[in-house]
Every structure is written in structure tokens, then in C-alpha cells.
């Protein structure tokens, strides 16, 4: 190979010692050992300003760092090499992916701007991490920013560490008062992958425009589907060369949602108001940008799922409180029944005075049955008080029986709760807030699911079930939905399940259609 121009940094790798130890040597003499090594030398000079002055001391001087290229030794290399380690390791990546996931990785690598919309549970996170890993190994990117809901930051940190141990991953921590372009440059100098939440970055996008990341990944990208949202508007102002949007919500069923996402991917070809051309036309135009596989298509061997709605009667104290609430509303209500319905559904979960709850009683029976069978259970509730009550009852019976996961907990505590449920042999139940646990988690250690109550939007409930019914699940899964007889629950939920009433229509009806309210309240 011809020598590089005079004065350029040169890189070479020399085998040194037993156990596959190698040395990276940088100098200003000699020929570079290939494109990736030259890129490593240039990157090391770029990200570590202390190297050039040392090299300038003597043209004959060289710098040398040891590293071990074997899997499992990535974190043991010299700290100064971590930023360029992907360029020093063999370009071929070995990871234990399903065949359809390898297809997804290859598809992402071919598309700079794309929507990966696989069913929940098919491993979109793993596919993206595998693709990022390859981009770094090939020397195609030098910076990556992943935007996720705040509740998923810990999960992404853990998954990136597991699937791409040679990449340095950090979570951005800053405020409007302290974040500057200099902070951003420092962050991308330290890490390959930076994680931030939609909430933290809404007002800070302008600081990224001068040096946008080479790749932006937007997880749970259906959060960007509303053009008036700050997150959507901010994302549209960043000119990142690559943008990958991930969503398990089938946005291609709604023309307006799909148009909004496509306008972010390719604003020259798509506009927000393209939904006016019709869903079929938009789908056809979106086909090159969107990859969606369903569980039935790629994983027909997933275990069977049995769903059962269990109807329980209100306990006497609950029925009394329920009837009083209805009677009070009939005397005083002047329209706007949303608060009443929330109150009635809360009473169905437990009586506010005595704490009596037929649902909690039945949930404990189901949990005991699962423990007897050696099965772990995830119990979902969008209300927090029933989770606390249930935890106290389980704690009195067995202190190690349950872990609690809610939005009130700090992120470290949430991570600890999930880890305890996954790994502790005597932690049989995860009591989870539906709003926190319906996105991003893998809970295949459980094969029993209980809904103490259901969110009015059925897709949120489906996402929660997919925490358990996903890749890695090897046993049949039983899902139990608890509902109270002769209440708004057993009248309202069938309408939502059959899609006779959408979530938005329900909220509107509770505000403006008293005849529907009276029908739902009739006992």
C-alpha cells in the first residue's frame, strides 16, 4: 500500500503476546494499514486532543495501546481507545438474531430514513442496536442520538450494553439552563450512542442544528404523529443524515398519522396534509420507507395466548359507594360526566373508605394459583392505589412475593423493581402501572397476566400484553381481565373492544351526549 501524505497520522495493529493481545500504534511515519485503521487514527486524533501534541514531540515517536479483540473483553481496553474500538475490531459482527431480524438489520442499513414498524415483541430495539453496531464497525457514522420516552431510558442502556458492548452509551443529563452546543460536542466526543427523552429535548433542538448527529433513532415514534406537538416540530428542524423511526403501533392504518411521520422522514416528498389523498395512495408511496412484520408472519411458533374476561360482583361496601355516587350525580350533575365515570371505575377497583375490593380478592386467588404452578405474574392497573393495596396484602403473606413499578418511582428504582422480578426466584408478581409498563419492557419471565382494570384505549392494553407475549416467551400465556358486574365497566368495555366507540368518541360522548351516559349508568 502506498504511504499516506507527509504529516498524516498512521495506524497499524501488531499482534503482541498470548491471549490474542494486539497493539494499536500511531505515528507520523510508515504506511497506514487500511481504510478502517486510517479512519481510527483520524477519529482518535479528532476525539482526543492530547494525541497530536505528543506526536509532534518527535516524528519518530509512536504511541501504542493494547487491546483484546475477543468478545467479552471490550470494556477492558485502554480508556482512550473506547471511542475508536469499533474500527479496530473485525468488521464482521456475530450476534444471535432471528433470521427475520437479520433481514430487518440489512433493511435499515440500506435505508437512511425509514420506519421500522414490526409488531410489538419482535425485537425492534435489538435490530436497531445491531444495525448501529455495524454502522460503527464499517466507519459510516461517528455519532448517534436515540430519543425515547423517559420511562425507557434504563431499558435502552441495558439493551445497548448487552447487544453492543464495544459501544460507549451514555444518557444525556442537562437542563435548558446548562445545555449548550459545547456540551453537545463534549457528549459526542465521549460516547458512540447518546440517549435522551422526548421530554428533555423538546426545547433544546436548536442547539443540535450546528452539529446534528449522524443518526437519530426515534423510539415509540407514534409520539411524533401529531404535527402540532413540540417534539414533531423540533424533530423536523434537525438535518440528521439518517433517521430511523420505531413504532409497534400500526400507524399505516391512519392516513394523518402516517403522513406526519413520513413528512419527517422525507419532507421533500411528503407533506403533513398528504393524508387528503387517501390512505391507499399514501400507503403505496410509503412502501419504500416502511417495514412491518407481524408475529403471525415471522414467528408462528410463539406460544398460544388464552384471554378470559372474569366478571366479579362488587362487595357490599363497594356497591353502596357506587350507588351513592350515581345518585349524587343524578341530583347535581349538569353535564360533563368524565369525572363521574372515573370515580365509578375507581370504586370498582376498591371502596375508598374500607378498602374492600372483589377484584383484589380475585387477583390474589389467581396469583396463588400461578405460584402453585411455578409461574410468575404481571398485574396491570392504570390506577395506583389498588397496586399499593395489593402490594401490602401480598407483603403480609410473603415479603418477597411482589415488586412494584409505577411512574412515581425514580428511574433507578424502576429498573431495580424490574430486575428483581426477573431474577429473584421468590418474586412472583410484578405490580405495574399500565402507563409505565406498556412500552419497551420485556417480561417473558412471566406467563400469567392480570388486568385489574383496563385503560379506555384498547391499544394501550394490547401493548401491555405484548410485554409478556414476545420473543423469548416459551410457554402458553394466560391473560385475565377483571371486570365488575352491573357497572359502567361491563357496559362500556365491550363497546371499545368491538370498536363501536373509539377512545376519542368516548371522551366526547361523556362531555356532550347525556343519553349515552344515562344508558351506561342504568343498572
- What is the residue range of 268's domain? 99-298
Do 292 and 315 sit in the same domain of this protein? no
Do 27 and 80 sit in the same domain of this protein? yes
pLDDT computed for residue 9 by the predictor = 45
Do 80 and 17 sit in the same domain of this protein? yes
Question: Which secondary-structure segment (H or E) carries 320?
Answer: helix 316-332
What number of other Cβ atoms are within 10 A of residue 130's Cβ? 22
Domain boundary among 33, 64, 88: 88
Question: Which secondary-structure segment (H or E) carries 114?
Answer: strand 113-116
pLDDT computed for residue 215 by the predictor = 95
Residue 47, CA atoms < 13 Å, CB-side half-sphere: 22
- The model's pTM: 0.66
What number of other Cβ atoms are within 10 A of residue 456's Cβ? 20
DSSP strands (E only) in 356-463:
376-381, 402-405, 429-433, 446-451
The SS3 of residue 458 is helix
Note whether residue 243 is domain-resident: yes
Note whether residue 162 is domain-resident: yes
The SS3 of residue 123 is coil
Do 378 and 347 sit in the same domain of this protein? yes
Do 273 and 310 sit in the same domain of this protein? no
Annotate 340-353 with DSSP letters as a single string: HHHHHHHHHH--TT
Do 403 and 339 sit in the same domain of this protein? yes
| CA 9/CA 30 separation, integer angstroms | 9
pLDDT computed for residue 85 by the predictor = 74
pLDDT computed for residue 45 by the predictor = 55
Residues 269, 272, 274, 278, Cα dihedral to 10°:
140
Do 47 and 131 sit in the same domain of this protein? no
Do 355 and 444 sit in the same domain of this protein? yes
What number of other Cβ atoms are within 10 A of residue 156's Cβ? 22
| CA 34/CA 38 separation, integer angstroms | 6
Domain count within the chain: 3
Q: What angle do CA 353, 359, 363 make, to 5 degrees?
A: 130
Do 498 and 350 sit in the same domain of this protein? yes
Cα of 311 vs its chain's centroid, Å:
33
pLDDT computed for residue 66 by the predictor = 56
Residues 349, 354, 356, 360, Cα dihedral to 10°:
60
Tell how strand 215-218 and strand 242-246 pair up.
Answer: parallel
* CA neighbor of 71 nearest in space, from 195, 162, 2, 141: 162
Task: Kindly provide the b/e burial profile for residues 341-372, where b requires at least 16 CB atoms within 10 angstroms of the residue's own CB.
Answer: bebbbbbbbbbeeeebbbbbebbbebbeebbe
Do 342 and 407 sit in the same domain of this protein? yes
Regions of the chain with pLDDT less than 50? 1-9, 15-16, 18-20, 28-33, 49-62
What number of other Cβ atoms are within 10 A of residue 71's Cβ? 11
Note whether residue 93 is domain-resident: no
* CA neighbor of 283 nearest in space, from 260, 266, 259: 259
274: domain CATH number is 3.40.50.10810
Domain boundary among 298, 333, 352: 298
Q: Are the CB atoms for 427 and 421 separated by under 8 Å?
A: yes
Which residues, 6+ apart, have CB-to-CB distance to 167 below 8 Å? 86, 132, 133, 136, 160, 192, 193
Note whether residue 3 is domain-resident: no
Q: Which tens digit of pLDDT belongs to each residue from 120-173?
A: 778 899 999 999 999 998 889 989 999 988 767 877 888 898 888 889 899 887
| CA 116/CA 104 separation, integer angstroms | 8
DSSP state of 3: P
Which residues, 6+ apart, have CB-to-CB distance to 47 below 8 Å? 83, 84, 189
Q: Residue 357: left if φ>0, alpha if ψ -120 to 50, beta else—which one?
A: beta
Tell how strand 215-218 and strand 144-148 pair up.
Answer: parallel
Do 158 and 254 sit in the same domain of this protein? yes
450: domain CATH number is 3.40.50.300
Note whether residue 394 is domain-resident: yes
First to last CA, the chain: 87
Residue recorded with cell 445491531 = 130
Q: Are the CB atoms for 404 and 433 separated by under 8 Å?
A: no
Note whether residue 379 is domain-resident: yes
Note whether residue 230 is domain-resident: yes
| CA 287/CA 294 separation, integer angstroms | 16
Domain boundary among 282, 298, 314: 298
Do 115 and 158 sit in the same domain of this protein? yes
Note whether residue 285 is domain-resident: yes
* CA neighbor of 401 nearest in space, from 411, 389, 412, 392: 392
* CA neighbor of 428 nearest in space, from 482, 373, 481, 470: 373
| CA 46/CA 42 separation, integer angstroms | 6
Annotate 77-109 with DSSP letters as a single string: S-GGGTTTHHHHS-S-------HHHHHHHHHHH
Q: What's the order of all strands across the beta sheet hosting 376-381?
A: 305-312, 477-484, 446-451, 376-381, 429-433, 402-405
Amino acid at each position: 500500500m502506498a504511504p499516506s501524505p507527509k504529516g498524516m497520522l498512521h495506524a497499524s495493529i501488531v499482534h503482541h503476546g498470548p491471549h490474542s493481545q494486539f497493539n494499536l500504534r500511531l505515528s507520523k511515519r510508515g504506511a497506514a494499514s487500511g481504510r478502517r485503521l486510517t479512519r481510527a487514527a483520524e477519529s482518535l486524533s479528532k476525539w482526543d486532543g492530547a494525541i497530536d501534541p505528543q506526536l509532534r514531540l518527535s516524528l519518530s515517536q509512536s504511541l501504542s495501546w493494547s487491546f483484546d479483540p475477543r468478545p467479552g473483553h471490550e470494556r477492558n481496553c485502554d480508556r482512550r481507545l473506547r471511542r475508536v474500538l469499533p474500527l479496530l475490531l473485525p468488521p464482521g459482527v456475530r450476534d444471535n438474531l432471528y433470521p427475520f431480524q437479520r433481514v430487518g438489520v440489512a433493511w435499515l442499513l440500506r435505508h437512511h430514513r425509514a420506519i421500522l414498524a414490526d409488531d410489538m415483541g419482535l425485537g425492534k430495539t435489538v435490530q436497531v442496536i445491531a444495525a448501529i453496531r455495524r454502522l460503527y464497525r464499517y466507519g459510516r457514522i461517528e455519532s448517534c442520538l436515540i430519543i425515547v420516552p423517559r420511562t425507557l431510558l434504563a431499558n435502552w442502556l441495558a439493551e445497548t450494553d448487552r447487544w453492543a458492548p464495544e459501544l460507549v452509551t451514555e444518557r444525556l443529563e442537562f437542563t435548558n439552563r446548562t445545555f449548550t452546543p459545547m456540551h453537545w460536542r463534549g457528549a459526542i466526543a465521549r460516547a458512540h450512542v447518546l440517549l435522551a427523552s422526548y421530554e428533555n429535548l423538546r426545547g433544546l433542538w436548536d442547539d443540535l442544528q450546528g452539529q446534528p448527529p449522524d443518526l437519530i433513532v426515534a423510539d415509540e415514534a407514534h409520539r411524533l404523529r401529531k404535527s402540532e406537538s413540540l417534539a414533531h416540530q423540533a424533530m423536523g428542524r434537525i438535518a440528521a443524515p439518517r433517521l430511523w423511526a420505531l413504532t409497534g403501533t400500526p400507524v399505516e392504518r391512519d392516513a394523518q398519522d402516517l403522513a406526519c411521520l413520513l413528512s419527517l422522514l422525507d419532507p421533500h416528498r411528503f407533506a403533513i396534509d398528504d393524508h387528503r389523498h387517501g390512505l391507499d395512495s399514501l400507503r403505496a408511496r410509503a412502501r419504500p420507507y416502511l417495514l412491518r412484520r407481524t408475529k403471525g408472519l415471522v414467528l408462528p411458533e410463539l406460544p398460544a395466548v388464552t384471554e378470559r374476561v372474569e366478571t366479579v360482583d362488587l362487595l357490599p361496601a363497594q356497591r353502596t359507594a357506587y350507588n351513592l355516587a350515581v345518585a349524587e350525580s343524578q341530583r347535581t350533575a349538569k353535564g360533563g360526566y368524565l369525572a363521574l365515570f372515573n370515580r365509578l371505575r375507581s370504586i370498582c377497583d376498591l371502596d375508598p373508605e374500607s378498602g374492600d375490593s372483589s377484584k383484589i380478592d380475585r387477583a390474589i386467588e389467581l396469583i396463588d394459583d400461578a405460584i402453585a404452578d411455578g409461574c410468575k405474574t404481571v398485574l396491570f392497573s392504570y390506577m395506583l392505589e389498588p397496586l399499593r393495596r395489593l402490594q401490602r396484602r401480598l407483603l403480609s403473606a410473603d415479603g418477597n412475593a411482589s415488586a412494584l413499578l409505577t411512574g412515581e418511582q425514580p428511574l433507578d428504582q424502576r429498573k431495580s423493581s424490574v430486575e428483581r422480578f426477573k431474577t429473584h426466584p421468590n418474586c412472583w408478581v410484578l405490580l405495574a402501572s399500565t402507563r409505565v409498563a406498556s412500552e419497551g419492557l420485556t417480561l417473558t419471565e412471566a406467563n400469567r397476566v392480570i388486568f385489574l382494570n383496563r385503560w379506555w384505549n384498547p391499544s394501550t392494553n394490547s401493548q401491555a400484553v405484548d410485554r409478556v407475549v414476545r420473543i423469548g416467551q416459551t410457554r402458553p400465556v394466560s391473560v385475565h381481565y377483571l371486570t365488575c358486574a352491573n357497572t359502567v365497566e361491563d357496559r362500556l368495555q365491550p363497546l371499545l373492544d368491538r370498536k363501536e366507540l373509539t377512545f376519542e368518541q368516548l371522551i366526547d360522548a361523556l362531555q356532550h351526549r347525556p343519553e349515552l351516559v344515562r344508558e351506561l349508568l342504568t343498572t
